[in-house]
Amino acid sequence: MEKIKYDLVARKEPVKIPKNLGFGKYFTDHVFEMDYSNEKGWHNPTIKKLENLSIHPGSMYFHYGQGVFEGLKAFKTDAGEVVIFRPEKHIQRLNNSARRVCIPEVDNEFLHYALSELISIERDWIPTEKGESLYIRPFIFGSDSFLGVKPSSNYKLIILLSPVGAYYPEGFKPVKILVQDEYVRAVRKGLGECKTPANYAASLLAGEEARKKGFTQVLWLDGIEQKYIEEVGTMNIFIKFKNEVVTPKLNGSILPGVTRDSVITILKDWGINITERLVTIDEVVTEYKNGNVDGVFGTGTAAIISSVGWLNFKGFEMTFNNGEPGDLDKKLFDEITSIHYGQIEDRHNWLTHVEVKEIEV
């Protein structure tokens, strides 16, 4: 792979990170970009000023949605080191998603290197309050201008950075979720396990209808029987039954969340009985009525750990922990964020340290 070209802009003033970051509203000064052609493979890796793209309106991505993306996070630890949380797992998932929609894979190590270089340059944009981070959004899209349906021959990969706080408008307070039984998000053997824009487009109408009824998001049921709980779209879901914490097992239509995987590992470390299995919505309702559901929470890179205060299925409202965060959710949020900021031992080597370099402008 060629060397990265640096086309940087000098900062006139020190970076000022806005307060009340929310999610995805602000962007840093630079992006990483790289191109693909069938002849040259991935080439032209460049870190440059963030600017609008100039794209032909016939670009295949606009018409047929051939694209994939990832979401991962960088932190500044209390000791001032710059770290990325589980980048290799995210890069692997990006390539898994890419394969499914015929996008050429990217060299894992090179992408990791490119991420680190960009983050090193933009390190002053990393916020440091608990729950805040620099969100990293790599994405790839087909860029041929052609209107027939086929895989593109040219692609662009971009890494965008955004300083973020809480994902949901509720902040880190419990969210209100509507179980969705009208529409489906994905079916097994479809695209559900990929991070491809189509899944998010498929979720918008249900999300909007739920929001109008006062819910934060929807919980999707399986696409075939609409019986088994799957995921929220912006996060995976965990149910805390009396003697067992359960999360739906990965079946091809659920996104294999990196935070989901981290939470399963932490719960096992703590000796908590965590099971990945099929869970019907009827089981949740029945066990709730029997007093056997202690709480529900979601996990995601953007959402971190988000308590679910209310879950509504066909008008039957289940309330957990009186709408306050559950003890286990709080403990998990604390554990994960303490790992992020280097406040406790990183016992599973989830943090990758970024070598901070001065690059001349």
Between 253 and 321, whose beta carbon lies closer to ligand COI?
A: 253
Q: Is 300 in the site for ligand COI (CB under 6 A)?
A: yes
Nearer to ligand COI, 196 or 321 (CB): 196
- Of 95, 236, 301, 312, which one interacts with ligand COI (CB under 6 A)? 301
| Minimum distance, C-beta of residue 23 to ligand COI, in the bound complex (Å) | 7
Question: Of the ranges 3-11, 48-56, 284-292, 300-308, which one interacts with ligand COI (CB under 6 A)?
Answer: 300-308
Q: Which is nearer to ligand COI, 76 or 260 (CB)?
A: 260
C-beta of 201 vs 224, nearer to ligand COI: 201
Q: Of 21 and 293, which CB lies nearer to ligand COI in the complex structure?
A: 21
Closest of 170, 295, 155 to residue 237, by C-alpha? 295
> Which of positions 203-232 make contact with ligand COI (CB under 6 A)?
none
What would the x/- binding string for ligand COI be over residues 67 to 106, using CB under 6 A? Answer: ----x-----------------------------------
Distance of CA 2 to the CA centre of its chain: 29
Query: CA-to-CA distance for 287 and 298, rounded, in angstroms?
Result: 19
**Does the protein bind ligand COI through residue 165 (CB under 6 A)?**
no
Q: Does the protein bind ligand COI through residue 234 (CB under 6 A)?
A: yes
Q: Residue 194 or residue 302: which is nearer to ligand COI going by CB?
A: 302
Pick the piece of the chain touching ligand COI (CB under 6 A) from 80-88, 169-177, 206-214, 299-307: 299-307
Q: Which residues form the interface with ligand COI (CB under 6 A)?
A: 71, 234, 300-302
